[in-house]
Structure 1
Amino acid sequence: MLRQPDAPQPVAALLVAAGRGLRAGGGEPKQYRLIEGRPVLAHALMPFLAEPAITRIAVVIGEGDEARYAGAVAGIDGSRLAAPTLGGATRQASVRRGLLALAREGFDGIVLIHDAARAFVLSAQISAAIGRLGIEGVAAIPALPVTDTVKRINADGHVAETPPRDQLVTVQTPQAFRFKPLLAAHEAAEAAQLHGFTDDAALMEWAGHPVATFPGDPANVKLTHAADFLRTAAQAGQTLVTRVGTGYDVHAFGLGDHVWLGGVKISHDQGVIAHSDGDVALHALTDALLGALADGDIGTHFPPSDPQWRGAASARFLGFAATRVRERGGRIDFLDLTIVCEAPKVGPHREAIRAEIAAIAGIPLSKVAIKATTSERMGFTGRREGLVAFGTATIRLPEED
């Protein structure tokens, strides 16, 4: 059994989005084509942004794609997102440039390399990649058993060999590496003018490093051809059923000079009394999603008795709940929020709140609605003693027996 480190190492994620990907059709690089109203790249980014162990996220983009990239990440929390790096002529060259950019920032630790065309990666795969590396490993990659018989052919197109299927796997991303050995391997390959490596694990094998494997996820497909974009749960023989969940949260006013609403900091003559940042809007939507999943409530997963959540940003809670929907093979169709308070005024901040909620949940802005009202000076909200939020989440999940 691998010994776990006493203290976690810094973890960075490097998403490779520099290819042209024109085989997928659509007239533009596949990483910028839309799935459910959001670019493929945005879908690929969200699970990494929701993973608290990752301290830095970098993206390598193609030359001339600067505007496409800016549109893809619009509304996404960029606090851990580095400025994009321009890639090279090959995937190998693009990864090397991304690694050098991280090195210039002084990064050292674990780096996850992920293909932006794999838009359906789950947080469980990210955690598995980090965990499989442990403290002693240098490289770890997700692998799937081969189910088809594989033939090696010669130059004439005749079968030259049938390798034993039980010794073969296909591999995916994210792949996890120690940063310095991976960068050194890239630099060695560059010095040797070797540019044909199709993934970083192959390069590490060439450099003499052992590469461990862990179970991959069949759903973590790489979007390559136009038909890949047409695949839906229904086409895969899966029926999605609609579920609706509701959430409610309330906080009393206390000392302070601001409140958090929907991930937006709003100046006010009072704060709220809360264990976390007291964002009633995000708490209500978190409970709405968890309710639709029949997966407890916010207190189940983030108990106020646990000191690690003291002052925590509520975006982490909503991001967690949205990830749980995707891990169940589901999708978020709509989030509806009603905020009740006499003050502060919500109207001037409505669009900023919508954009923040959409970014946290990983859904298009058009799938978020916000209303604000007062209680006509009745009750505790009418007396300006606190504020309330009601959330409703509509999701679709695979039908269960």
Structure 2
Amino acid sequence: MSTKRTAAIIVAAGRGLRAGTGGPKQYRSIGGKTVLSRAMEPFCTHPDVFAVQPVRNPDDADIFDQAVCHLKYHTPVNGGATRQASVRAGLEALAEHAPDIVLIHDAARAFVTDQVISRAIDAALITGAAIPVVPVTDTIKLVDASGAIEATPDRSRLRIAQTPQAFRFDVILEAHRRAARESRDDFTDDAAIAEWAGLTVTTFEGDAANMKLTTPEDFAREEARLGAMLGDIRMGTGYDVHAFGDGDHLMLCGVRVPFSRGFLAHSDGDVGLHAIVDAILGALADGDIGSHFPPSDPKWKGASSDQFLKYAVDLVAQRGGRIANLEVTMICEAPKIGPLREVMRARIAEITGLPQSRVAVKATTSERLGFTGRQEGIAATAAATIRLPWDTTGNTTGGSN
């Protein structure tokens, strides 16, 4: 069963204080992608979800846009003081679109799968209100204020609730509105509101991996798990060269460098970024920069090379991988690269989303030999190390040539 009238609300307005330092947890990187991006993307790409409505903190507008700029979603709305208020803001924003079913998902659950989303939609179509659950495997104790055990519940009847929780849209919207009218703001999830409103909430199979990231230990464990999955380590090299022409500046590693000459190039001629792009494509076994951005195509005339690098980085992410390290060596007599080294490292890190500690910029001369020695142009070499996942057959997910 499916419907094209399913919408999803992504609740991302919290502060995540229990996760420790580093800002709101939904914007932290895990496995090379932000938690929010991982949580939203399965909904944005699911064939049966027609609208994704994020709810964010108004203070997070810039970092939100940066985290999910590659996804398609409805204009975010601002959340409230509680999760309950934030969900209602998302519901009200969707009201004009009149979805049949709404899925409500916490941004801190970064590992939701297409299968769980499909099960949520099917369950809501059948029962009108359903949540994913997983069995409790540990023995649970009920304790009093002093820590003394009062009871041992039968764990065969206990379940751990997850999200996305799925409801008929009109029913859960009215339940939230009623709770607001009656000043009830103490519900910890949407199933509790539905129960309070008199609805029967059913359950469906969740996913143990669909855990909520709450503590620093959660982040460390999942980072290690994701790292262990990326066992296919690839290396690629790149090379580029451009001759000097008329001009008053050079673009080098994404930095505008004042100079007495310019580059003769179809794009902005950034040899450093071009070499890095070729290195990444080489590691992916996916052609070279010319095959992806043909110099014969007028759309790339004068293009800024940072978009080429972002494209290459996205290709790695699309294959479930991450970039481990980038290195570029500039070969020229002038301009002097040493004073610009840290600025260039910072710019490459900014474009790629890598920590600066994973970006190296080096420079050398050719001892006045050859075209670089005669100051006719600049060359650059680069190396990229990436990590890709293995599929279940032991084959890699990388590349075509």
Q: Does 1:116 align with 2:107?
A: yes
Match of residue 142, structure 2, among 126, 133, 152: 152
Give the residue type in structure 2 aligned to 1:124.
Q
Q: Does 1:52 align with 2:38?
A: no
Give the residue type in structure 2 aligned to 1:160.
E
Q: Does 1:219 align with 2:204?
A: no
Match of residue 388, structure 2, among 370, 377, 395: 395
Partners of 2:71 and 2:163 in 1: how far apart?
A: 23
- Structure label with greater radius of gyration: 2
Give the residue type in structure 1 aligned to 2:107.
A
For these two proteins, the number of residue pairs brought into alignment is: 283
Give the residue type in structure 2 aligned to 1:82.
H
Q: How does 1:346-365 map to 2 (within 5 A)?
A: 346=300, 348=303, 351-352=306-307, 355=310, 361=317
* TM-score normalised by length of structure 2: 0.62
Give the residue type in structure 2 aligned to 1:205.
E
Q: Which residue of 1 aligns with 2:25?
A: 30
CA shift, 1:46, in A, is 1.1
The verdict on how the C-alpha distance between 1:349 and 1:55 changes in structure 2, with shifts beyond 3 A counting, is: farther
Match of residue 98, structure 2, among 97, 107, 128: 107
CA shift, 1:236, in A, is 9.1
* TM-score normalised by length of structure 1: 0.62
Partners of 2:312 and 2:117 in 1: how far apart?
A: 23
Q: Contact between 2:38 and 2:110, CA under 8 Å: does it hold in 1?
A: yes
Partners of 1:354 and 1:226 in 2: how far apart?
A: 32
Give the residue type in structure 2 aligned to 1:55.
F
Q: Does 1:196 align with 2:186?
A: yes
Give the residue type in structure 1 aligned to 2:83.
R
Give the residue type in structure 2 aligned to 1:111.
V
Q: Which residue of 2 aligns with 1:131?
A: 122
Q: Contact between 1:129 and 1:176, CA under 8 Å: does it hold in 2?
A: yes
Give the residue type in structure 2 aligned to 1:366.
T
Q: Contact between 1:144 and 1:170, CA under 8 Å: does it hold in 2?
A: yes
SS of match in other structure, 2:389: strand
Q: Contact between 1:120 and 1:220, CA under 8 Å: does it hold in 2?
A: yes
Partners of 2:108 and 2:225 in 1: how far apart?
A: 20
CA shift, 1:55, in A, is 0.9
Q: Does 1:142 align with 2:132?
A: yes
- Deviation digits for residues 10-38 of structure 1, max 9, x if unmatched? 11110001111021123311111112333
Q: Which residue of 1 aligns with 2:35?
A: 40
SS of match in other structure, 2:166: strand
Q: Using the TM superposition, name which of 340-349 and 146-155 deviates more.
A: 340-349
Percentage of matched positions with identical amino acids: 43
Q: Which residue of 2 aligns with 1:248?
A: none
- Deviation digits for residues 266-324 of structure 1, max 9, x if unmatched? xxxxxxxxxxxxxxxxxxxxxxxxxxxxxxxxxxxxxxxxxxxxxxxxxxxxxxxxxxx
Q: Contact between 1:238 and 1:398, CA under 8 Å: does it hold in 2?
A: no
Q: Does 1:82 align with 2:85?
A: no
Structure 2: tracts of 5 or more residues without a match:
235-282, 324-350, 355-385, 395-401
Select the structure with the greater relative contact order (CA < 8 A; seq sep ≥ 6). 1
Give the residue type in structure 2 aligned to 1:10.
R
Q: Which residue of 1 aligns with 2:363?
A: none
Q: Does 1:177 align with 2:167?
A: yes
The verdict on how the C-alpha distance between 1:235 and 1:99 changes in structure 2, with shifts beyond 3 A counting, is: closer
- Deviation digits for residues 160-189 of structure 1, max 9, x if unmatched? 221110000001111111110000111111
Q: Which residue of 1 aligns with 2:352?
A: 366
Structure 1: tracts of 5 or more residues without a match:
245-332, 369-392
Partners of 1:198 and 1:137 in 2: how far apart?
A: 22
Q: Contact between 2:19 and 2:216, CA under 8 Å: does it hold in 1?
A: yes
Give the residue type in structure 1 aligned to 2:32.
G
Give the residue type in structure 1 aligned to 2:94.
L
Give the residue type in structure 2 aligned to 1:231.
R
Q: Contact between 2:84 and 2:188, CA under 8 Å: does it hold in 1?
A: yes
CA shift, 1:355, in A, is 4.4
CA RMSD for the aligned pairs?
3.4
SS of match in other structure, 1:144: strand
Q: Which residue of 1 aligns with 2:14?
A: 19
